[in-house]
Structure 1
Amino acid sequence: MRPLTALTLSEGKLFLRDGMSVGFGLFFPSVLLYVLGGLMPGFREVDPELGGVRAIDIYLPIVVAMALATIAITTLPATLATHRERGVLRRMATTPVGPAPLLGAQLIVQLIALLISVAVAITIGVAVLDVSLPASIPQFAGVLLLATVAMFAIGLLIAAVVPTAKTASGVGMLVYFPLLFFAGVWTPGPIMPENLRRIAEFTPLGAASQALSDAWSGTTIAPTALAVLAAYAVAITFLATRLFRWT
């Protein structure tokens, strides 16, 4: 068995043993979507303030962005920081394999977790809450890929600069909740105050939420959102690779 395959299986088992990662990372966004769409009054009724669509139709792509942030910002950096703190990365560096395959395995595990989380959210939205599928699935997938690169880069940057797993969790949460705000989790973009909406356009998750929503509804994807995501993907990936420490 190749080292990357073996490490991916091992990291996957460790992920599944962590109840917080499974519960919060995989299912929290979907639970929130179900609560909003199934229990909140008015969420499944057409709202003129939202452009004549239902609130739940707007929230599903926002929840997809939330799922991405949950994995990339709260789970990924804490796991990598734990490996560094426990000396796993240092010990891997002394082997012929090196530590890079472990990082690759962890990225694969987190990517699979993200895909599961997104799939569960979309399934609940479509099958239970009567939300339509994306108008352009290829465009939606392309935007999700670009947003994933940008958000995972931020997670790696957090893991690169924090000294301990506890600090990684704390910093992750400090970044996570403001990102959710600008993504429209509390106030969707169409009803967000103009000054806040302009700020949100230049945040990574705000841009991701906008681009995912555009791809979902079939409207032209905002060029600004794509440019912002690409800029974060390139710049933060560069910083993360320069600052990442194995020990």
Structure 2
Amino acid sequence: MNATNATWSLIKVETKLSLRDKTGPLWGVGFPLIVLIILGSVPVLNEPHDVYGGRTALDLYVPVFALFNLAILALSAMPTMLAAYRENGVLRRMQTTPISPARVLGAQVAANSATAIVAVVLFLAVANIAFGVRLPENVAGFVVGWLLAGAALISIGMLITALAPGRGVATAIGTVLFFPMMFFAGLWIPLPQMPPLLQDISAYTPLGAGATAMQAASGGDFPDLQPLLVLTGYTVVCAAAAIRWFRWQ
């Protein structure tokens, strides 16, 4: 088996294991989809408001649910799985085989990225078909914001994996980070309704910057440079730290 076939086989295995773990599909896709349907059924959330720039609250929530999915995959599913591999000696044993631990990391990223793509397409389709939410008017800006947010979160997830000694600690760190990040993304209070201080803090958090970029693109504007630079900064710093401190065993 050549290197390409081995890599594809590993991606298929990691995808099956990720689906079997249920964290990504259930909490990363199923849960936000159900919440989206519930919120879409509330008439007041489908009414345009000046505070939202003439858009509805549901227009703002769709990008937030896409970020919810990315956060679950990057902060919970991936670090937990990889930390368990290291804890159980799987990565150490793979160092003696042609399938290097680095390929395992790549396969994990690929498997979770595939789930994330399916999720964002599903959220946009359901919101548009069932509730009349407009698809992103600036597609390029939306894709750039989503990709940079995903890169930032994956880098943070890799850093969690590097620092956590085992599965339990990785799960705890991911959970502690998840809730404040989602708050600043506007999950509980839409960004335009946050007090100025919270808006300022949100702009420098990975999910706050991601939500700002994707919501701007949904409304037809290409994201401003600031949220894109913030996401790039998280990606570079956390990826460098993860590479520096990552342990295979």
Short-chain TM bin: over 0.9
Aligned-CA RMSD value: 1.3
Q: Quick one: which amino acid aligns to residue 203 of structure 2?
A: E
Q: Quick one: which amino acid aligns to residue 28 of structure 1?
A: F
Q: In 2, distance between residues paired with 1:19 and 1:241?
A: 28
Could you tell me whether the CA contact under 8 Å between 1:44 and 1:55 is conserved in 2?
yes
Match of 1:20 in 2: 23
After the TM superposition, which residues 97-176 of structure 1 pair with which residues of structure 2 at under 5 Å, given as runs?
97-176=99-178
Q: Quick one: which amino acid aligns to residue 60 of structure 1?
A: V
- Work out whether 1:43 is the aligned partner of 2:45: yes
Q: Quick one: which amino acid aligns to residue 17 of structure 2?
A: L
Q: Quick one: which amino acid aligns to residue 27 of structure 1?
A: G
Match of 1:243 in 2: 245
Q: In 2, distance between residues paired with 1:119 and 1:198?
A: 30
Q: In 2, distance between residues paired with 1:49 and 1:110?
A: 35
Could you tell me whether the CA contact under 8 Å between 2:185 and 2:202 is conserved in 1?
yes
Could you tell me whether the CA contact under 8 Å between 2:76 and 2:171 is conserved in 1?
yes
How many matched pairs?
246
Could you tell me whether the CA contact under 8 Å between 1:160 and 1:243 is conserved in 2?
yes
Q: In 2, distance between residues paired with 1:157 and 1:138?
A: 29
Q: Quick one: which amino acid aligns to residue 132 of structure 1?
A: R
Q: In 1, distance between residues paired with 2:63 and 2:16?
A: 29
Structure 1 residues 8-62: Cα deviation after superposition (integer angstroms, max 9, x where no partner): 1111111122233321122222222111112x34111223333332111111112
Q: Quick one: which amino acid aligns to residue 96 of structure 1?
A: P
Name the stretch that deviates more: 96-105 or 235-244.
Answer: 96-105
Q: Percent identity?
A: 38
Structure 1 residues 46-83: Cα deviation after superposition (integer angstroms, max 9, x where no partner): 23333332111111112112221121111111111111
Could you tell me whether the CA contact under 8 Å between 1:56 and 1:131 is conserved in 2?
yes
State the 1:140 CA deviation: 1.1
Could you tell me whether the CA contact under 8 Å between 1:3 and 1:101 is conserved in 2?
no
Q: Quick one: which amino acid aligns to residue 35 of structure 1?
A: I
Counterpart of 1:187 in 2: which secondary structure? coil
- What TM-score, normalized by structure 1, do the two folds share? 0.95
Q: In 2, distance between residues paired with 1:7 and 1:220?
A: 37
Q: Quick one: which amino acid aligns to residue 23 of structure 1?
A: L
Question: Match for 2:68 among 66, 69, 75?
Answer: 66
Counterpart of 1:53 in 2: which secondary structure? coil
Could you tell me whether the CA contact under 8 Å between 2:141 and 2:222 is conserved in 1?
no
Match of 1:198 in 2: 200
Structure 1 residues 101-145: Cα deviation after superposition (integer angstroms, max 9, x where no partner): 111111110111111111111111111111111111122112211
Q: In 2, distance between residues paired with 1:185 and 1:216?
A: 17
Unaligned runs of 5+ in 2: none
Name the stretch that deviates more: 10-19 or 197-206.
Answer: 10-19
Question: Match for 1:6 among 6, 9, 12?
Answer: 9
Q: In 1, distance between residues paired with 2:22 and 2:239?
A: 29
Match of 2:78 in 1: 76
Q: In 2, distance between residues paired with 1:16 and 1:219?
A: 35
- What TM-score, normalized by structure 2, do the two folds share? 0.94
Q: Quick one: which amino acid aligns to residue 207 of structure 1?
A: A
Q: Quick one: which amino acid aligns to residue 120 of structure 1?
A: L
Q: In 2, distance between residues paired with 1:19 and 1:225?
A: 31
Unaligned runs of 5+ in 1: none
Question: Match for 1:93 among 83, 92, 95?
Answer: 95
Q: In 1, distance between residues paired with 2:51 and 2:233?
A: 32
Match of 2:209 in 1: 207
Q: In 2, distance between residues paired with 1:223 and 1:138?
A: 14
Could you tell me whether the CA contact under 8 Å between 2:71 and 2:153 is conserved in 1?
yes
Counterpart of 2:100 in 1: which secondary structure? coil
